[in-house]
Homo-oligomer: A and B are copies of this chain.
Amino acid sequence: MRPELLELILGLLPDTHPRSEVQLLYEMMRDYPQRGGKGLRSELLLLSAQAHGARPGSEAWQRALWLGAVVELFQNWVLIHDDIEDDSEERRGRPALHRLHGLPLALNAGDALHAYMWAAVARAGVPGAVEEVLTMIHRTAEGQHIDLAWVAQQQWDLSEADYLEMVRLKTAYYTVTIPLRLGALAAGKEPSAEFTPAGEALGTAFQIRDDVLNLLDDAGSYGKEIGGDLLEGKRTLIVLHWLASAPPEQRERFLAQMARSRSDKDPTEIAEVLRWLRESGSIAYAQRYADEQGQRGLARLSAALGEGNEAATQMLRLAEGYVTRQA
């Protein structure tokens, strides 16, 4: 993310405490934000603010920066908890927080970071922002719940529509729709109603690209373990598409692995599944779907923003990158 934004976040979070135990909590809260996240969501928010007339350096810009801090803090506390929920191994190229400090301390640090996100909302002081942030958390938690419930209940009998509704809730709001809306509000403008459908299409494209990257063999800068989604038993458009026409024997072996906990999965079998998926054409299918959704979202966003606005052009370029990004 932008250095000025990281500075704002690190300035908001507490730094030192006389008690060494509490000092560790502070270091845990500051860990993920400092691991060099791309800051896509805050970037989108700041470009939206600019496209709506907030000039860098103005008071509106300062408010937009605080709201940028909000979406980045949101992303970071959610990632700490997601990594626990999925028992992920890595985050941004390093061990997940709960693998460094144990589950209880990491869960609690995520809660503490969540509270500082609300401190940033208060600092922004933008009318209407509280409701947007509430919507962002509500929808994301609902999508996350669906995703986790399918894993917990071993449910694979799912349609593409099921997957798409999960992703719309889990990813689209916090990745696109709410950053676009918060940018407008920071500039004192009413957000366009088009931001919701545009955000849903672009958010879906973003998530599918994420699922694709997780299965490619050379996603060096991706920051999570390749095939991690398979180990975590994640439902993706790729897997659902493949399952619909997979040879019965492959399907059976796949489901047998998915019924096991992460640590009980057989690495040889998982590597085999990865090979089947790569050879099936389902990755290419999902990528095409992402491309289409991306184009549709861009068209709606572009129509909503109008012509001849440099910030709007940059924003569209950023969103375009969602479906082709390498990391």
Contacts and interface: CB of A to CB of B under 8 A. Distances in A.
Contacts of A102: 152
B142 A119 contact: no
A303 B103 CA distance: 44
B105 A81 contact: no
A145 B85 contact: no
Given A122-B130, A142-B22, A85 B108 contact: yes
A269 interface: no
Contacts of A165: 19
A151 interface: yes
Interface in A103-143: 103-105, 107-109, 111-112, 114-115, 118-119, 122, 130-131, 133-134, 137-138, 141-142
B114 A85 contact: no
Contacts of A114: 111, 114
A10 B78 CA distance: 25
A145 B25 contact: yes
Nearest to A155: B21
A149 interface: yes
A152 B118 contact: no
Given A134-B118, A142-B25, A152 B109 contact: no
A166 B240 CA distance: 49
A145 B22 contact: yes
A311 interface: no
Binding site of A, secondary structure by majority: helix, strand, loop or mixed?
helix
Nearest to A109: B145
Nearest to A136: B115
A131 B123 CA distance: 11
A24 interface: yes
Given A108-B144, A114-B114, A115-B134, A24 B81 contact: no
Contacts of A142: 17, 22, 25, 112
Given A112-B137, A115-B138, A21 B146 contact: yes
Q: Which of A78, A131, A142 has the most CB of B within 10 A?
A: A142
Q: Which of A114, A134, A149, A151 has the most CB of B within 10 A?
A: A149
A260 interface: no
A146 B22 CA distance: 7
A84 interface: yes
Interface of A: 14, 17, 19, 21-22, 24-25, 78, 81, 84-86, 101-105, 107-109, 111-112, 114-115, 118-119, 122, 130-131, 133-134, 137-138, 141-142, 144-146, 148-152, 165
A-B pairs, top 5 by smallest CB distance, nearest first, are A85-B104, A115-B137, A112-B141, A25-B145, A104-B148
